[in-house]
Structure 1
């Protein structure tokens, strides 16, 4: 979901790495497919009358984090499908070949989040998470247009000094306009619907008759659009960290506040954490209010270079670091200690968390803006704006996005874009109870008209259930069986939380406790909503 850097640096920082939630992304329909499926060097000649071999559709490649040889390729499509003589762009893909390809006409398409992440850069994550699926089926990764290798929409980095910059003083509109001027693209053509046409073009080009879909975070929106526009191409769908079509991603602000309340609850429910940090929520508010008065500057050792540097801690950096840390279970365990130390005037632990999360998601911010400004910002009501002002995190996020979209000329999607998906495709929905971005009630909302679906809430997972629990086994079961009928989520009850750090070096042994129910969700944390 929406990256903290969208607020802190707002398009000024070029993303270089990937990993939202350890993760892990995208119609003009058949006319576009007909005129867009072209290889840059492909010939339409009748090769049956000649000995000249057709060009290979893929070539051997290696990807970061994987030591095996894979297959990569690209297709060339029109940037604007309505302009047959217009600019063309390359859409890159990678295939993680099945270990034993017993289903050569099928593949699982894994769609990354963001919006703005590269699926190919997340290949190692998808390979680990989908290892059982890959035993018998290819895993297909496509860099959605505007991300990764597919004509990425990113901007030059004018804010190299992340530690010392004052992100509270950034001129968002001016920076957005500058970013727009640097991009050689019609940014109006980088929304979800147009990208979906690319996905279907890749499927047809590679000859897969059917796809299984796995979408994470924003990738669940792309998966749902696939269900709406190309249902005949799909066998099963998994939505992990669900963004329902009815929901604007800008509404994530409320989810962040919920995530904080869940964190306070978990610390209170864990004896050692409660004993060590009895006033955690109050200490967070103390630091937040102190930074609301003025940023705090300290000389620190840069965690990456060990050089003596100035660290200017702003309110935005503080809240953003805590927010991003809640996505990842291992870093979430550090939050109570970091907040407590900050309340005592020691900001080194917060610096550590900020550094760990500052460039962890690999968001192509131009593509992010094209999606949010065309598909989400217009759904914000006056009441939502009023409610957002009650929270610094929500208000700051909304203000930054609205300023960005003032300078990013994207026509809004049709009203029917936000209608719930009506489908009988077997669909598995996964939500994390600890998720600070896509809470369980979002999954329930997406399930409204999915007639053959199951929704499981993992009580100990954050964002991206399949990557941190047995949810990956459930995905494999769905793909193998082609039905949700016999899937149950009992294995999700296993407590996979990381023990909270009591100081910089030690963690406590987490006791066995009942899952509290005082945080509002749409269903008990260990239950599933079934539609079969």
Structure 2
């Protein structure tokens, strides 16, 4: 993932750092963060909380820099923009040792905790004990209480402000031009920055591409298509078809049973082993199914989970749901930052016609809940950015089974890009950069962004095997 160019240290310093700026290796402080075994550089960049009020309150933006391994580093770093909205850059530092290790051979990696996330004044609600067993009405009230208690100008946390933050980080670290890697919502932020500061962008890598016209809560059509692929893939696999010959019907029966309110469970608490009562409502059931669809490996477990629930054995499904909570390997999304962005930029575009066209039980409850909470935030609808063409070279990556940013979203975004390559991977969900030969392709693209990437190796990424029983997936 790292391009190699032999430059003298003095030339690199002249290109990368304006007069008076310290090299990145000398900026900030040495720091050890979760997800990285080595010491990195942590830089704090003070910024206005509201750019319209530069003399008003400020925030401290956290930036993590992984300096290039080679001393003769190239002058244009790779900036990492996480997803969500609400995920912090420090939540994805684990990618430094895999997805970005090749890139880092000759380029600095700059990881930003977007304002309102991670170590950049996280905008979130406190964790609630036993949230997974709490009745839906109590969950809703807890969210409302949290919003009412947080006294922040939510309108200051949108994508436009985050893009201006990136520019301030570039200036603070002394770089001339930069490359951007964005995942999911990070692709929206990367595109916004590229349109706002076109002269400062050398190349972009967009993994799980959000189209400019995409409304984040309106994902029912894409989610339903991804679920249908699970059903059809199982039907086409002899072992899966033999194990679950009526998978669609079982899923429909379980969903209907849950919707009727007839599923009251008493299961051991995963922390204490004490018996607790859980009401499996539609939002919990469908939300868990939707979350499973993000991961290719998880989707191959879904038939087993559905079949088990159909037979009345809910333990595997509930265990998977808990795994997405406080047992998650990634840091939790900043909920209020997520709402601040979506309520200003997406919900105002969620028209009745779009709701009708995108109707799906998989996302309906979430969409309703978000729009209800948005009324409490009272954010001003964000002015749309002009959809000018992005002239910098772009590499777009899509998983064919992605339930939120499938290939059709990248194709729509590509219509506004002058030099875009689009790579798709079969049997894969949300996120490509960490799979197979992708780390090598990221570096090859950044080395020579004007050249076509040879992506034949992506076809070698195997489809995960289906889980046919409690022992786990087939070998």
- Counterpart of 1:82 in structure 2 is 52
2:50–2:156 CA contact under 8 A, matched in 1: yes
- Cα gap change, 1:47 to 1:223, in 2 (>3 Å): closer
Residues 321-330 or 253-262, more deviating? 321-330
1:163–1:312 CA contact under 8 A, matched in 2: no
- Counterpart of 1:496 in structure 2 is 462
1:176–1:408 CA contact under 8 A, matched in 2: no
How far apart are residue 106 of structure 1 and its match?
1.8
Partner SS state of residue 163, structure 1: helix
- Counterpart of 2:16 in structure 1 is none
Of residues 343, 346, 367, the one that matches 1:376 is 346
- Counterpart of 2:410 in structure 1 is 443
- Cα gap change, 1:245 to 1:307, in 2 (>3 Å): same
- Cα gap change, 1:265 to 1:126, in 2 (>3 Å): farther
CA distance in 1, matches of 2:422, 2:311: 43
Of residues 160, 165, 169, the one that matches 2:134 is 165
Partner SS state of residue 231, structure 2: helix
Of residues 322, 332, 338, the one that matches 1:355 is 322
- Cα gap change, 1:56 to 1:430, in 2 (>3 Å): closer
Tell me the TM-score normalized by structure 1.
0.81
Tell me the TM-score normalized by structure 2.
0.90
The 5-angstrom pairing of residues 19-38 of structure 1 reads none
Question: Does 2:124 align with 1:124?
Answer: no
Of residues 65, 69, 73, the one that matches 1:95 is 65
Q: Tell me, which stretches of 5 or more residues in structure 1 are unaligned? A: 1-45, 49-54, 510-532
1:177–1:408 CA contact under 8 A, matched in 2: no
Partner SS state of residue 131, structure 2: coil
CA distance in 2, matches of 1:113, 1:106: 22
How far apart are residue 176 of structure 1 and its match?
4.5
**Which whole-Å deviations, capped at 9, do the CAs of 1:212-241 have from their partners, x for residues lacking one?**
110000000011011101111111101110
How far apart are residue 175 of structure 1 and its match?
4.3
CA distance in 1, matches of 2:73, 2:200: 15
How far apart are residue 472 of structure 1 and its match?
2.3
2:187–2:210 CA contact under 8 A, matched in 1: yes
Residues 419-428 or 288-297, more deviating? 419-428
Partner SS state of residue 449, structure 1: coil
Partner SS state of residue 289, structure 1: helix
How far apart are residue 505 of structure 1 and its match?
0.3
Partner SS state of residue 284, structure 1: helix
Of residues 431, 452, 465, the one that matches 2:419 is 452
- Counterpart of 1:505 in structure 2 is 471
CA distance in 2, matches of 1:162, 1:243: 30
Of residues 340, 363, 370, the one that matches 1:401 is 370
**Which whole-Å deviations, capped at 9, do the CAs of 1:105-126 have from their partners, x for residues lacking one?**
2210010000000101211124
CA distance in 2, matches of 1:243, 1:408: 24
- Cα gap change, 1:227 to 1:59, in 2 (>3 Å): same
CA distance in 2, matches of 1:110, 1:295: 45
1:244–1:420 CA contact under 8 A, matched in 2: no
How far apart are residue 47 of structure 1 and its match?
9.2
**Which whole-Å deviations, capped at 9, do the CAs of 1:346-392 have from their partners, x for residues lacking one?**
1011011101113435110111011101111111121122345x422
How far apart are residue 321 of structure 1 and its match?
1.3
Of residues 197, 220, 235, the one that matches 2:164 is 197
How far apart are residue 421 of structure 1 and its match?
4.5
Partner SS state of residue 465, structure 1: coil
- Counterpart of 2:29 in structure 1 is 59
Over the aligned positions, Cα root-mean-square deviation in angstroms equals 2.1
**Which whole-Å deviations, capped at 9, do the CAs of 1:310-332 have from their partners, x for residues lacking one?**
33322211111111111123322
How far apart are residue 186 of structure 1 and its match?
1.2
CA distance in 1, matches of 2:456, 2:160: 36
Question: Does 2:240 align with 1:270?
Answer: no
2:466–2:474 CA contact under 8 A, matched in 1: yes
1:337–1:502 CA contact under 8 A, matched in 2: yes
- Counterpart of 1:226 in structure 2 is 193
How far apart are residue 269 of structure 1 and its match?
1.3
How far apart are residue 414 of structure 1 and its match?
1.9
Question: Does 2:299 align with 1:332?
Answer: yes
Question: Does 2:259 align with 1:289?
Answer: no
